[in-house]
Amino acid sequence: MTETKKITEMTDEEIKEEVRKAYTKVAQRTTSCCGPTSSCSQDTLAEKLGYEVTDLPDSVTESFAGCGNPVALASLHEGDVVLDLGSGAGLDAFMAAREVGPKGRVIGVDMTTEMTEKAKLNAEKMGVENVEFRQGDIEALPVDDESVDVIISNCVINLAPDKSKVFTESFRVLRPGGRMLISDIVLEASLPKEVRDEVASYTGCLGGAILKEEYLQLMRDAGFVNVRIVNESPFNIATSAKIEAHKPK
Ligand X SMILES: C[S@@+](CC[C@H](N)C(=O)[O-])C[C@H]1O[C@@H](n2cnc3c(N)ncnc32)[C@H](O)[C@@H]1O
Enumerate binding residues for ligand X (CB under 6 A). 16, 19, 23, 34, 64-66, 86-88, 91-92, 109-112, 115, 137-139, 154-156, 159-160, 205
Strands 131-135 and 105-110 come out as parallel
> What is the C-alpha to C-alpha distance for residues 194 and 238, in angstroms, rounded to an integer?
15
**How near is the Cβ of 49 to ligand X at its closest, in Å?**
9
How far from 86 is each of 46, 72, 115, 125, 135, CA to CA, in Å?
Answer: 16, 17, 9, 20, 9
**How near is the Cβ of 27 to ligand X at its closest, in Å?**
7
**How near is the Cβ of 28 to ligand X at its closest, in Å?**
12
> What is the C-alpha to C-alpha distance for residues 35 and 17, in angstroms, rounded to an integer?
14
CA torsion, points 215, 182, 243, 98, in degrees to nearest 10?
Answer: 170
Sign of the Cα torsion 94, 207, 174, 70 reads positive
**How near is the Cβ of 175 to ligand X at its closest, in Å?**
21
Q: Based on CB atoms, which residue is closest to ligand X, 86 or 207?
A: 86
**CB burial string 188-212: b at 16+ within 10 A, e below:** eeebeeebbbbbbbbbbbbbbbbeb
Q: Based on CB atoms, which residue is closest to ligand X, 72 or 248?
A: 72
Q: Based on CB atoms, which residue is closest to ligand X, 112 or 201?
A: 112
**How near is the Cβ of 149 to ligand X at its closest, in Å?**
19
Q: Based on CB atoms, which residue is closest to ligand X, 110 or 198?
A: 110
Number of H helices and E strands in the chain, helices first, is 10, 7
> What is the C-alpha to C-alpha distance for residues 116 and 206, in angstroms, rounded to an integer?
23
Q: Based on CB atoms, which residue is closest to ligand X, 87 or 170?
A: 87
> What is the C-alpha to C-alpha distance for residues 16 and 11, in angstroms, rounded to an integer?
9
**How near is the Cβ of 130 to ligand X at its closest, in Å?**
18
Tell me which residue of 208, 218, 230 sits closest to 34, measured CA to CA: 208
